[in-house]
Structure 1
Amino acid sequence: MKNFQHLRKVLMGSAILCTLFTSCSEDELANLKDSDAVFQEQEGMIVVEVETTPAEEGWTENTATAGFTGTSYYQNSGDAQMNNPGESILEYSVQINTPGTYRFIWHNKVNEGDNTTEANDSWLRILGAHDFFGKKNATVKYPKGGTMVQSDKIVNGSSKDGWMKVFCSGTLDWSWATRTSDHEGLNIYATFNEAGTYTVQISRRSTGHAIDRFVLYNEEIVSKEEAEDLSNAESR
């Protein structure tokens, strides 16, 4: 009798699990919340859906604005933190297997109002990187408190404790526009001299800024078009 009751419980549990997982799409299963996820660099690129980690206070998980990937996006619904980076930090562990310099881009949107220069930025910091900077042609600049490797010049506008203000501009649509340094629009890079696990941090700045996913890619291995392909799967 005991063996029969045990078998019955096992079968019931299996039925429940089957019901749970068959009710989810592959994308939904891939994007279940996991604050301990480690995203693996593969062939020079890492793709991360921001909603993989649980939302911190002030970030709202949303699906109202079409054009996002994965299951949702996060939007700053709290107070603006214009000169106060480090509020409500979203953290992501990324495993770099191929050392080198990687460009950082995110799929983001002005999702409040109709001004392309407002509700358009959040704070970004990459812990452990051997270099973290903005660059355009010969111009290289750093956030205040950052690692001064190539230049002692500081980005224009607000920065603090190694945090960069990262913004989009020119459109109200979802875009890959990812820039730093006011009135210059520098691209963003991080150098990893050694294979290992590093931490990408995002914190709230402008109310209404929405972020869908981000990508780190080595420009010597991966093209811009490949990195911006929305069909790329998350790197797990």
Structure 2
Amino acid sequence: MLSSNNYAYIFSMNAQLFLFRSRVLLISTIFLIASCDKGGEDPRPLSCPESDALNFTESDGLVIVEFEAVPDRSAIGDWDFRNDFAAYEGEGFLYWAGEDHFSQPGNSTLGYEIEISNPGTYRFIYSGYIALGESTTESNDLWLRFADASDFYGFRENDDSYVYPKGTDKSPNPEGASRDGWLKVYMNQLNEWTYTAKTSDNDAHDIYVEFDNPGTYLMEISGRSEGFAIDRAVIYKEEGNFADLGNRAKRKEAFEVLDGSDATCP
């Protein structure tokens, strides 16, 4: 028969073993959470698969959309969610892993709802990266559409030139590809994330979208060139702190320090 001292010893050992196992479980849980946040293919997927597009709210004439903020990252077609090279913002970026679609927009289309409270004219740029090859004219573009905006076009200030997407009954149209309200939107900088966006081949125009009234508008992108990576879209009024951002260095300095707009399920 065990003495009272033996029982006390056994109880003490069991209590210590329980505490040890609890600590191991806690440490393992913390390590797992940290690992999921900092590595792996998909560190923190959003969860609102019943929605077609997340909602991003404009504030003081600015909306920053992280392209990876989609309702369901398992349903993005030929876009790949990645976080395997440096200097992106947010959780990661999207990479077009599908075929080239130089004349046919609408492949693996992703939508983003933009809630506008300050109507007016906004400039569109993205942070893009040529992630395949060493050419400045390949793997450098996507398709973009604002079908329900008041107007959507390319504009070049030095000669007051406008170009409108084909399929909108407006002219003139951009040089090169365009169809069904979509613009080809490109960049030409190697080896860095670049805040820019142009349309019209060899005839570069900046991208603008007009919202005449407060409300929610849909921005759509679709894949065009294999190997193009996109991190975020910036839609902003060219006024105040954003009035004089005429080169990519100024745009990068202005926007890379800002957090993306909050994404919510509609």
How many Å separate the matches in 1 of 2:257 and 2:45? Answer: 14
Q: Root-mean-square deviation (CA), in Å? A: 2.5
1:58-77 matches, cutoff 5 A: 58-77=78-97
Q: CA deviation at 1:156?
A: 0.5
Q: For 1:1-236, what aligned pairs fall within 5 Å after superposition?
A: 23=34, 32-34=46-48, 35=51, 36-53=53-70, 54-55=72-73, 56-137=76-157, 138-146=160-168, 148=170, 152-223=171-242, 224=245, 225=250, 228-236=254-262
CA deviation map 1:59-102 (0-9, x unaligned): 11111221111111001101111111001001100001000000
Of 46-55 and 84-93, more deviation after overlay is shown by: 46-55
Which residue in 2 is equivalent to 1:8?
none
- Whose helix proportion is higher, 1 or 2? 2
Could you say what secondary structure the match of 1:127 adopts?
coil
Q: State the distance in 2 between where 1:64 and 1:22 align.
A: 19
More moved, 218-227 vs 117-126:
218-227
How many residues are aligned here?
Answer: 216
Give the 3-state SS of the residue equivalent to 1:135 in structure 2: strand
Matched AA of 1:153: P
Find the residue that maps to 1:66 and give its secondary structure. Answer: coil
User: Which amino acid letter does the alignment assign opposite residue 232 of structure 1?
Assistant: L
Specify whether residues 31 and 192 from structure 1 end up closer, same or farther in structure 2 by C-alpha distance, changes over 3 A only.
farther
Which residue of structure 2 aligns with residue 12 of structure 1?
A: none
Q: Is the 8 A contact 2:126 2:197 kept in 1?
A: yes
Is 1:48–1:235's contact at 8 Å kept on the other side of the alignment? yes
Tell me the CA shift for residue 222 of structure 1: 4.5
Partner Cα distance (2:147, 2:37) in 1? 34
Q: TM-score, normalised by structure 1?
A: 0.83
Pair member with larger Rg:
2
Distance 2:241 2:172 in 1: 28
Deviation at 1:189, TM superposition (A): 0.3
Q: Which letter maps to 1:235? A: S
Aligned to 1:5: none
Residue identity opposite 1:87 in structure 2: N
Checking the alignment, whether the CA contact within 8 Å between 2:199 and 2:205 is kept in structure 1 is yes
CA distance in 2 between partners of 1:175 and 1:77 (Å)? 20
Secondary structure of the equivalent of 1:37?
strand
Shift of 1:57: 1.0
Alpha-carbon distance, 1:231 to partner: 2.0
Identity over aligned pairs, percent: 34
Any conservation in 1 of the 2:134–2:190 contact (CA below 8 Å)?
A: no
